[in-house]
Amino acid sequence: MTEYFKYQQAQLYVESVPLESIAQRYGTPCYVYSRAALTDGYRQFADALKGREHLICYAVKANSNLAILNVFARLGAGFDIVSGGELQRVLAAGGQANKVVFSGVGKTEEEMRMALEAGILCFNVESAPELDRLNSVAASMGKVAPISLRVNPDVDAKTHPYISTGLKQNKFGVAYTEALSIYRKAAAMPHIRITGMDCHIGSQLTETSPFIAAAEKVLALVDQLEAAGIVLEHLDLGGGLGIRYDDETPPAIADYAQSLLNALEGRPHKLIVEPGRVLVGNAGVLLTRIEYIKHGEEKNFAIVDAAMNDLMRPALYDAYHAILPLRERDEAAQHYDIVGPICETGDFIGRGRELAVTQGDTLGVMSAGAYGMSMSSNYNTRPRAAEIMVDGVAIHVIRERELVSQLFAAEKIIA
């Protein structure tokens, strides 16, 4: 729990607002974010990097609500995007195109055109064929595309295999051993301008050493490039800093940033980072109400109104999220599996949790600000949750709860 979510008189608060009052007024399931927590995370990053030319490109995929993007844009953030859709969100939220880096292994021609039209800072190119395509799209528009190559450093991020991206067997980036020759090719392309080098090795890293190992490999390659006469303006060391969900002990933002600065000491390049989770993860909570308590033969179930469509992380990665009652009770606690209404055994939010709760109580699923709403779906024709941002005592609805009618509005019955 962070300082922005805490109990006062047995009630869980976000900033100055009891979460239960939000659940009552706006219904559940709903995501609630603390603006102060968002701002604080960004400032910690910016302060830690103050002495060096840098750009913090918030990874939009972690949480792409316009209000959240707008908070970061106003703080001066850039953005890391992975689709044309995310670019449109950034622009709609007041973000600046010239602070956008575009990552992803499958950029379409249309997405390239859109990004060139908008004038983004850099394409993080992930393969030789992508480079060819970008050169020809830029040529057709009479433009020059700024690029870095995303290099796969073959470093073990020591995280969940689904979110580890910097190993040889992963689909991301260009092979370390081929990077130099692809850079040479890029240098000869008339509609490509080399501006940097990029790497991102994975997400929810709880140690600094893999980041440093990756940075060192990047720097060794930078030396080879410079010897070949290719000079870079920036180094993008990606995102991936983990947060505390349970008992993890990830490095503090300031320590992580300092170790990147140390690794880059004596280098003239502008530093770009692409943090997602660490800026939003612990700034958000998912509120959910207990519909039923069910005592099975072997287990107790708290059946809640949030499900795997709202928060997919437990089902997909067996991820742990702390689950807290919004109002503490004196009764004895029991063990529960906290499960949703979806017809799959994988539809759980948490298992074997000790809670003193009863039917009708509301729970907070903690650390849900990153990859919660942004990975939600409409499975089982469930409208997506409302989203709320709290700012001191003020409560703002930043996304209305979806209506079922919206879910099938684009569908047609045929004759």
Known catalytic residues are 343
* Cis peptide bond upstream of 29, omega within 30: yes
82, 84, 90, 96 alpha-carbon torsion, rounded to 10°: 100
Closest approach, Cβ 386 to ligand LLP, in A, equals 21
Tell me the sheet residues that pair with 151: 174
The pair phi, psi for residue 304, each rounded to 5°, is -110, 170
Q: Which is nearer to ligand LLP, 52 or 160 (CB)?
A: 160
Report how far Cα 264 is from the mean position of its chain's Cα atoms.
Answer: 25
Q: Which is nearer to ligand LLP, 315 or 363 (CB)?
A: 315
Q: Is 55 in a helix, a strand, or coil?
A: strand
Among 42, 183, 256, 371, binds ligand LLP (CB under 6 A): 371
Closest approach, Cβ 345 to ligand LLP, in A, equals 20
Window 57 to 86, contacts with ligand LLP (CB under 6 A): 59, 62, 80
Q: Which is nearer to ligand LLP, 247 or 330 (CB)?
A: 247
Q: Which is nearer to ligand LLP, 316 or 356 (CB)?
A: 316
Among 204, 288, 367, 376, binds ligand LLP (CB under 6 A): 204
Sequence-distant (6+) residues with CB within 8 A of 314 are: 308, 320, 321, 348, 349, 350
> Is the CA virtual torsion 187, 189, 194, 198 positive or negative?
negative
Among 275, 340, 364, 369, binds ligand LLP (CB under 6 A): 275
Reference 356, options 316, 326, 319; nearest CA is 326
Total chain residues near ligand LLP (CB under 6 A): 21
Q: Cα–Cα distance between 106 and 126 in angstroms, integer? A: 8
Closest approach, Cβ 201 to ligand LLP, in A, equals 10
Closest approach, Cβ 317 to ligand LLP, in A, equals 6
CB 272 within 8 A of CB 55: yes
What are the residues binding ligand LLP (CB under 6 A)? 59, 62, 80, 103, 163, 200, 203-204, 238-241, 274-278, 313, 317, 371, 375
